[in-house]
């Protein structure tokens, strides 16, 4: 029985993190400044759409700050207490951001219902001017985040979703301002606020589901565990069976442990390297722990990774 693990380090990881941090910092400044502008404009004009957008921006400012800190901490080197480093901070930040966005959306919907039954006067001209300025600011912030070098980074995606919610809120505020200026019908203000809130809620729920799945050690959606085990057996003739497969994700990095029963070979290290290379080339798995065995697995959990997962712990013969 033999045991080994490997790491394939991506050389550009530090550059990617620094680029994400710079984009997050720039978006933080833009969002924070225009949050203050929209709060003042919403109070002066009486527009719920502007106040709702300012509420989104307030959440965004906090979310971007948390995301920025998460990126900084995530690239610290692993230590004795955190052997994977602090990569999970990015996932945790995405999870918190999603919850915050859902809560603020619920508050906006509640206020919109109140405004619908008790309409208030709205200064359409002032509302339109501030909404257009907010739209331009949101477009700039979204562009900064969307062009990130790591599109799979949940942390940056969380921040981008918040800014996208503000962008949609600005569009809704512009539409509401034009209708109010042309017709004087103020209920359009809370109605459009609800529509924008529901669109943002859908995106927030997707983010919450994905980050929650990762925090619960779920297998990455883009990797089929059953297909991986079958491919390993079919493409490497020395591999007889694959069992005790555990696959999860830390940050954006998939992590794998597995047992393989192999035909006894004179060059053990060469076969081990072939297994690691196959995992890296086919599934981009840079951290894999492989335990090689020469006898068939007879434990209760030998089917792990083959579609049958008993509710027992590991039992090694």
Dihedral angle sign, alpha carbons of residues 20, 24, 27, 29: negative
Q: Which CATH number fits domain 9-215: 3.30.565.10, 3.40.190.80, 1.20.1510.10, 1.20.210.10?
A: 1.20.1510.10
Question: Given the structure tokens 């830390």, which residue do they identify?
Answer: 250
Q: What's the CA gap between 69 and 63, in Å, rounded?
A: 10
Q: What is the dihedral of CA 60, 61, 66, 70, to 10 degrees?
A: 80
Q: What's the CA gap between 170 and 176, in Å, rounded?
A: 10
Overall pTM > 0.85: no
Q: What's the CA gap between 205 and 193, in Å, rounded?
A: 18
Average pLDDT of every residue of the chain:
78
Specify the fold of 218-317.
Answer: Alpha-Beta Plaits (3.30.70)
CB of 292 closer than 8 Å to CB of 13: no
53-76: average pLDDT: 73
DSSP letters, 275-295, are HHHHHHHHH---EEEEEEESS
pLDDT single digits (tens) 8-28: 444 444 445 566 678 888 888
Nearest to 28 by CA among 58, 54, 71: 58
pLDDT single digits (tens) 179-222: 989 998 888 888 888 887 787 788 788 888 988 998 898 888 88
114-142: average pLDDT: 86
What are the boundaries of each domain within the chain? 9-215, 218-317
Q: Which long-range contacts (CB under 8 A, 24 or more apart) does 268-276 make?
A: 268/2, 268/292, 271/236, 271/238, 272/2, 272/4, 274/236, 275/232, 275/236, 275/239, 276/4, 276/6
* 9-215 and 218-317 in the same fold: no
pLDDT single digits (tens) 212-270: 998 898 888 888 888 999 999 999 988 888 988 999 888 778 899 999 988 887 788 89
Q: What's the CA gap between 135 and 214, in Å, rounded?
A: 33
Buried b (16+ CB within 10 A) or exposed e, 31-64: bbebbebbbebbeebbbbbbbbbbbbbbbbbbbb
- State the burial class of residue 149 (Cβ atoms within 10 Å of its Cβ: 0-12, 13-18, 19+): middle
Q: What is the pLDDT at residue 10? A: 41
Residue 160 has pLDDT above 50, yes or no: yes
pLDDT single digits (tens) 280-307: 999 989 889 899 888 887 766 666 655 4
């Amino acid at each position: 029985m033999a045991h080994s693990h490997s790491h394939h380090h991506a050389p550009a990881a530090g550059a990617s993190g620094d680029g994400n941090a710079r984009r997050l910092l720039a978006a933080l400044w833009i969002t924070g400044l225009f949050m203050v502008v929209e709060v003042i404009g919403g109070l002066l004009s009486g527009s719920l759409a502007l106040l709702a957008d300012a509420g989104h921006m307030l959440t965004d400012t906090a979310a971007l700050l948390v995301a920025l800190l998460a990126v900084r901490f995530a690239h610290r080197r692993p230590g004795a207490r955190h052997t994977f480093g602090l990569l999970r901070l990015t996932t945790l930040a995405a999870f918190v951001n999603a919850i915050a966005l859902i809560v603020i959306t619920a508050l906006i919907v509640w206020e919109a219902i109140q405004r619908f039954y008790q309409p208030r006067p709205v200064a359409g001209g002032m509302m339109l001017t501030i909404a257009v300025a907010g739209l331009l600011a949101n477009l700039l912030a979204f562009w900064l985040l969307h062009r990130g070098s790591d599109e799979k980074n949940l942390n940056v995606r969380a921040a981008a979703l918040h800014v996208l919610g503000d962008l949609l809120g600005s569009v809704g505020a512009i539409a509401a301002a034009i209708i109010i200026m042309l017709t004087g019908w103020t209920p359009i203000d809370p109605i459009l606020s609800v529509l924008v809130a529901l669109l943002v809620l859908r995106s927030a729920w997707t983010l919450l589901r994905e980050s929650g799945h990762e925090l619960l050690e779920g297998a990455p959606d883009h990797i089929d565990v059953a297909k991986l085990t079958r491919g390993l057996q079919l493409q490497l003739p020395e591999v007889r069976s694959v069992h005790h497969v555990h696959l999860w994700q830390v940050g954006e990095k998939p992590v794998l442990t597995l047992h393989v029963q192999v035909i006894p070979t004179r060059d053990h290290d060469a076969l081990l390297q072939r297994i690691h290379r196959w995992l890296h080339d086919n599934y981009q798995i840079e951290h894999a722990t492989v335990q090689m065995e020469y006898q068939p697995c007879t434990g209760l959990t030998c089917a792990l990774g083959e579609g049958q997962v008993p509710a027992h712990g590991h039992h090694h013969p």
